[in-house]
Amino acid sequence: MNVGILGSGGREHAICEILKKSTKITEIYCFPGNAGTDKLAKNVEINLDNFENLKNYILEKKIDFIIVGPEKPLVDGIVDYLEKYKIKVFGPNKIAAQLEGSKIFTKKICEKYNIPTAKFGIFRDVQNSKKFLRKTSFPIVIKADNLASGKGVYICKNFEESCYAIDEIFGGKFGEAKKVLIEEFLEGEEMSYFIITDGITVKKFGTAQDHKRALEGDKGKNTGGMGAYSPSRLINDKLEKKINDRIIKPTLEAIKNIGSGYKGFLYAGLMIVNNEPFLIEYNVRMGDPECQTILPTLKSDLLDILLSCCENRLNEISIDWYNKKSLCVVLCSKGYPEKFEKNVVIKNLEKIKLKKDCFLFHAGTISKKDKVFAIGGRVLNFVSVSDNYENSRENIFTHLDELAWSEGFFRKDIGYKVIKK
C-alpha cells in the first residue's frame, strides 16, 4: 500500500516513523515533509493550498491512503475535496473541522449542549472589546477566533495587556479578524486528551501535558509547544468518565446533529479544576508536540488503526500501548516565537547516537546539498521513552549535548511537575 502524509512538522515525521513499522506499506510520500522524513519517505514539494495539484499527484502515483497532519487543510476542506475523487483520507470533514477553525463555533456548541467551559463573550470590533475590558476584572483570557498555530491566546493581567491583545488580533496578526473571544480565566492545570473515532466507535488515544510558554517556569510568550510528557499526571478513571460523558460525547452528538459526523483524531485541550474538566478548546488533529510524545508508546499497528477509522470498523481494532513514560523537548531557533533567522545550518547531527527508545523528529528543517538547515521556529523534537520521566529527560539532555547547536534554545524544565529534581 502507498501512503501519503500531508504536513512538514514534527508531528508528521513522527507519524511517518511509526507508520514505517507496518509491513503493509510499500512507499510513503510526504507533502512536503522535512529533512527527517526525507530519510524515510519521498518528499514532494506541493503547496497544500493547491488541492487540485495534490489530487492529480495522488492519482498519478496511485497513493492509496492519505493522512492529514496539520489543521489548515482540514479546516479548508481537503477531506471533502479528496473524497469526491474516491481518495481514501483520514481526518474530519470541513464542517467538523470548524471545531478548531472557529473558537466561537465551539463555544456555541458548549453553550447549547451544556459542555463545561469558561464563561465567554463575543466581540466584533476594537471599540466594544475595550469598552467591556474597562469594566471587567483580571486576569482575563483573549483569543483570536480563527486559526493561529497555537499562538492566538493571551492571558492578560491588566487593562493595558488586554488592549495590546485586542490591537494585535484586530490588527491582523493572525490573519483577518472579524471576531474576538473574551473568556474568564480558569485557575487549574491543563491537560491534553485525545480520542479517535470513526463516527460510531470512540477510543481513547492518549493523554499528555504540553508546555506552551517559551521560557522556563511557564513564562514568556505562547508558542506552538516547547515540549510535553505523556501520560498526564492528572488522569484517573473518575476524571476520564467526566471528560467523556460531559465533553466528548455531547460534542460528537452536536456535530452529528449538524448533519456531519466526525471521523479522525479529536484533541480536547482541558483545564482541570479540582478534578473537574473544563473545555478550553478543540483541535481536530493530533497535537504537536503531543503526537511526537504519544506515538512512540503505541504498541498496535498505526496503519491498521487509521484505516479502520476510515472504513467504519474501529470497533474491530484493539489499541494497545506500552506502559512507559514519554517525554519530548523541542529545540527552537533563537528568537522564537518572534523573529528568528532562517536557513541556518544545523551541525553535529551525525554526532547524535540515539539511545534505545529515543527518537529525533525533525520539524522546521530542510535538506540541501547533504546539509540540514533550520527554516522554522521549532526545529527538532527530542523524545525518550523509559520507565520514568527522570530517565527520559536525562536521555534527551545527553542527545542535546551531543548536538550542541549554538543557534537554538530549549526549555530545561519540561516535565517539572512530574520530575522532582
Summarised one tens digit per residue, pLDDT across range 46-72 is 999 999 999 999 999 999 999 999 999
Instruction: Return d(Cα 323, Cα 136) in angstroms, integer.
Output: 46
Cα distances (Å, whole numbers) of residue 325 to 286, 330, 396: 18, 17, 13
- Which whole number is the average pLDDT over 77-91? 98
The mean-pLDDT minimum among 49-53, 107-111, 143-147 falls in 143-147
Of 211, 221, 106, nearest to 154 by C-alpha is: 221
The correct answer on CATH 3.20.10.10 for the domain covering 189-316 is no
Query: Where does residue 301 fall: left (phi above 0), alpha (psi -120 to 50 degrees), or beta otherwise?
Result: beta
What confidence tens digit (pLDDT) does each residue in 13-34 have?
999 999 999 999 999 999 999 9
Grid coordinates given for 311: 472504513
Q: What is the mean pLDDT of the chain?
A: 96
- Which whole number is the average pLDDT over 193-221? 96
- Which whole number is the average pLDDT over 327-331? 98
Please, what is the Cα angle at 287 between 246 and 62, to 5 degrees? 115
- Which whole number is the average pLDDT over 105-116? 96
Q: Which residues are 154's β-sheet partners?
A: 142
Q: What is the pLDDT of residue 153?
A: 87
Q: Nearest 5°: phi and psi at 372? A: -110, 130
Task: Using a pLDDT cut of 70, give the percent of the chain over it.
Answer: 99
Q: What is the pLDDT of residue 49?
A: 97
Cα distances (Å, whole numbers) of residue 38 to 308, 367, 378: 27, 8, 18
Instruction: Return d(Cα 91, Cα 248) in angstroms, integer.
Output: 17
Q: Is the pLDDT of residue 421 over 70?
A: no
- Which whole number is the average pLDDT over 267-276? 96
Which band of pLDDT confidence, cut at 50, 70 and 90, is reported for residue 147? confident
Instruction: Return d(Cα 371, Cα 387) in angstroms, integer.
Output: 35
Q: Indicate the class that CATH gives domain 2-91.
A: alpha beta
Instruction: Return d(Cα 76, Cα 175) in angstroms, integer.
Output: 15
- Which whole number is the average pLDDT over 299-315? 97
For residue 268, give the amino acid letter: A
- Which whole number is the average pLDDT over 300-315? 97
Instruction: Return d(Cα 43, Cα 30) in angstroms, integer.
Output: 5
Q: What is the pTM assigned to this prediction? A: 0.94
Top-confidence range, 169-173, 180-184, 289-293? 289-293
Domain boundaries, the chain: 2-91, 119-184, 189-316, 325-409
The correct answer on CATH 3.90.600.10 for the domain covering 325-409 is yes
Q: Which residues of 350-386 are buried (b: 16+ CB within 10 A; e: fewer)?
A: eebeeeebbbbbbbbbbbeeeebbbbbbbbbbbbbbb
Which residue blocks in 119-266 are alpha helix, DSSP H? 126-135, 159-170, 237-243, 249-258
Q: Indicate the class that CATH gives domain 119-184.
A: alpha beta
The reply to whether 2-91 and 325-409 are identical in fold is no
